[in-house]
Amino acid sequence: MACESWSAKLDAYVDDELSSSESKAVATHLRECTSCAAYALGLVQMKRSIAAAGKRYQPRREFRKKIQKTIGSKPQRGGSWYWKIVAIPAALVLILSVAVNLYVDREKARRERVYGELTDLHVATLASASPVDVISTDRHTVKPWFQGKIPFSFNLPELQGTEFTLVGGRVTYLAQSPGAHLIYRLRKHEISVFIFQDRGNETAALASAPVSMLSFTVEGWKKNGLRYFVVGDVGAQDIESLSTLLRDAG
């Protein structure tokens, strides 16, 4: 159960309604209080589930307008055969439009589900008493630790001269697939970097540009058969800066 003095602020924090200074204070408290961190995780999961349920079967505005236009149009008298012939391609266009909308909505739902799971992993890890299994700021220590623990290798960037600091890493799982979970620190904020093997259609729809998920920013991309994801409660510019370093590594 969350601390009584922090519960109201946790609701506003998840809704991204706090000022910058208040958000920093809450983030600091979450790193120190496992009860509040668990409560915040529950809020994130609940809000994501409600948002996904509300959008799952919602038709697009253009699709609704097209249906209303089709229903509201009145055929002219005479030339029935002409209108039947014209109606055939119109029906095909309508069917194709429905199929495209369903495909886009399905891919969007898949992206939100994967990004939602990653934000859950990020929050749960930071709430843990032992967020990383290998503790080191040296990439040459962290990278070899994963050998034999996950079925792939990856490169980590040189951070000298940047604002980022490597904290450590651990093995994690997404859809029962093992991967690397790295923690970086930026101005007292923790940022998660997830690396998994690319699984084709399961991850093909994930956008490369930063995407906002409640109070978090997520960015994902593919490189050398691997899928990278960066998650944190910092701005899109900071997420992009770390992502650029990871893309250029090796």
Same domain, 131 and 157: yes
Q: Which among 145, 158, 164, 144 has a CA at the least distance from the CA of 248?
A: 158
3-state class (DSSP) for residue 239: helix
Same domain, 108 and 218: yes
pTM of the prediction? 0.57
Check pLDDT > 60 for residue 32: yes
Number of domains in the chain: 2
Instruction: Give the span between the Cα atoms of 208 and 222, in whole angstroms.
Output: 8
Instruction: Give the span between the Cα atoms of 200 and 205, in whole angstroms.
Output: 9
Same domain, 167 and 189: yes
pLDDT at 105: 47
* Residue % of the chain over a pLDDT of 90: 27
Check pLDDT > 60 for residue 76: no
Helix (H) or strand (E) holding 217: strand 216-223
Same domain, 45 and 141: no
